[in-house]
Amino acid sequence: MNQFPIPVSVLTGFLGAGKTKLLNRLLRDPELKDTAVIVNEFGEVAIDHLLVERASDGIIELSDGCLCCTVRGELVDTLADLIDRLQTRRIERLSRVVIETTGLADPAPVLQSIMAHPVLVQAFRLDGVITLVDAVNAEATLDAHVEAVKQVAVADRLVITKADLADQDTLEPLKRRLRDINPNAAILDVRDQQATGAGLLACGLYDPATKTADVRRWLGEAASGGEHHHHHDHGDHHHDNDHGHAGSVHDERVRSFSLVHPQPVPYSAIEMFLDLLLSVHGDKVLRMKGIIELREDPSRPLVVHAVQRTLHPPARLPTWPDEGRGVRLVLITMDMPEDYVRRLFAIVTSEPSVDTPDRAAIEDNPLGIPGFMR
């Protein structure tokens, strides 16, 4: 019997970053047996022989257009078709799906099309986003294209390619810039030993077998509890390296911050927070992940995970991955009024805060929170 839900990895990265080359290598990895790869063909980008050879094994290529827009419907059909093939035994087993997006794509709509689909969400779970960053061109690409910044911001893993071609002095500043945009993603070099199929693709947001370490990693500093962590607060933060890579105007729009509450909360409070946050400012939430101690069932943490407006069905972990308890949320946002988010969080977790209405008042009138309509 096939195991559901099937993990889906999204492989992204700007034009020519090396997605196809990496995918071809990974497909030779025995750990990626029974993996289906969905590649969108765009323009003249050809699929390597290896992919073509494996086509009879259930690899499905999208025929035209860009995944994020015109092929979006087709991606959903393709995933539905995979499930149909499994059920009719035309495919024996499917252990993972990898979606390679076009270089120009904003990955969020791709993720959303899976997570928001009522049927697909039962069969698939988003396992993670792997973003390739071309060491030679990344700085210029990040300066010029907000899509590239978003690709970095939503990643669970950042994989640097073409370091063999790059001036070695540029690598450290590039890594610093990536860490500034996305402090919680692991950064690897594509030549690293651990850049294997499992090492790269299995991000394990929910899988009880692997997720422990990952929950710690993606929670980053929030996992150590207590202190709010706040990136990009200091205007000169980008200027403190020797090479003057100041980060582009796009970088500045991306913020990563944590919300921490030391106590368990009722499910209704978390539900209200997420509802209000995602309905009003959902398109500014590039990514949100969190682990929550529920008052109703404190021994099994709730893992929540959202991409823009879409909240993935929350999962329960059998045990806590570390010492931390309470609520820890990490948000990666673009153009988000952070103050609003903090106030909303303080209200629903009923922390007293100057100038904010209390929770009962919010339940009566959510429009009463300052910043709600921004």
Least Å distance, CB 269 to ligand GTP, is 43
Helices 72-87 and 107-115: crossing angle, nearest 10°?
Answer: 40
Report which residue type is found at 28.
R
The answer to whether residue 80 forms part of the interface with ligand GTP (CB under 6 A) is no
Rounded to a whole number, what is the distance in angstroms from the first to the last CA of the chain? 49
The residue within the footprint of ligand GTP, chosen from 8, 10, 18, 40 (CB under 6 A), is 18
Structure token pair of residue 350: 């009923």
Query: Minimum CB separation from ligand GTP for residue 174, in Å?
Result: 14
- Using the minimum distance from each CB to ligand GTP, give the nearer residue, 78 or 310: 78
Site for ligand GTP in 212-231 (CB under 6 A): none
Measured from the CB of residue 131, what is the shortest distance to ligand GTP in angstroms? 11
> Which residue's C-beta sits nearest to ligand GTP?
18
Q: Enumerate helices (H) and strands (E) in the chain, giving the number of each.
A: 14, 13
Q: What are phi and psi of 303, to 5 degrees?
A: -105, 125
Among 19, 150, 238, 309, binds ligand GTP (CB under 6 A): 19
| Residue 213, C-beta contacts closer than 8 angstroms, at least 6 positions apart | 321
186-189 and 157-161 beta bridge pairing: parallel
- For residue 98, which phi and psi values (nearest 5 degrees)? -115, 125
Burial label, 260 (beta-carbon count in 10 A; 0-12, 13-18, 19+): buried
Query: Can residue 137 be called a binding residue for ligand GTP (CB under 6 A)?
Result: no
Residue 13 interacting with ligand GTP (CB under 6 A): yes
Tell me, by CB under 6 A, how many residues bind ligand GTP.
15
- Judged by CB, which is closer to ligand GTP: 161, or 248? 161
**How far apart are the C-alpha atoms of 263 and 277, rounded to whole Å?**
20
- Is residue 103 involved in binding ligand GTP (CB under 6 A)? yes
Binding mask 111-130 for ligand GTP (x = CB under 6 A): --------------------
Which token pair is 67? 């995944």
Cβ atoms of 238 and 251 within 8 Å: the answer is: yes
Coarse DSSP helix, strand, coil percentages of the chain, rounded to the nearest 5 percent: 40, 20, 40
Residue 62 near ligand GTP by CB under 6 A:
no
CB of 97 to ligand GTP, least distance (A): 18
Q: Is 21 in the site for ligand GTP (CB under 6 A)?
A: yes
Q: Where are the alpha helices (DSSP H) in the chain?
A: 19-26, 49-53, 72-87, 107-115, 120-123, 138-144, 146-153, 171-181, 197-201, 211-219, 249-253, 267-281, 338-348, 359-364
CB of 198 to ligand GTP, least distance (A): 20
Does 76 engage in binding with ligand GTP (CB under 6 A)?
no
Q: Which stretch binds ligand GTP (CB under 6 A): 16-24, 64-72, 275-283, 316-324?
A: 16-24
Least Å distance between CB 69 and ligand GTP?
Answer: 16
Cβ atoms of 137 and 166 within 8 Å: the answer is no
Among 2, 5, 41, 45, binds ligand GTP (CB under 6 A): 45
CA distances from 152 to 105, 119, 186 (A): 12, 29, 11
Q: Does 27 bind ligand GTP (CB under 6 A)?
A: no
Residue 135 contacts residue 160 (beta carbons within 8 Å)? yes
Shortest spacing between CB 159 and ligand GTP, in angstroms: 9
Q: Does 20 bind ligand GTP (CB under 6 A)?
A: yes
- Among positions 144-173, residues that touch ligand GTP (CB under 6 A) are 161-162, 164-165
Q: Which is nearer to ligand GTP, 170 or 212 (CB)?
A: 170
Q: Which is nearer to ligand GTP, 162 or 289 (CB)?
A: 162
360 contacts: CB under 8 Å, gap ≥ 6: none
Check binding of 190 to ligand GTP (CB under 6 A).
Answer: yes
- Only one of the segments 9-17, 74-82, 280-288, 356-364 lies at the binding site for ligand GTP (rule: CB under 6 A); that segment is 9-17
The site for ligand GTP (CB under 6 A) is made up of: 13, 15-21, 45, 103, 161-162, 164-165, 190
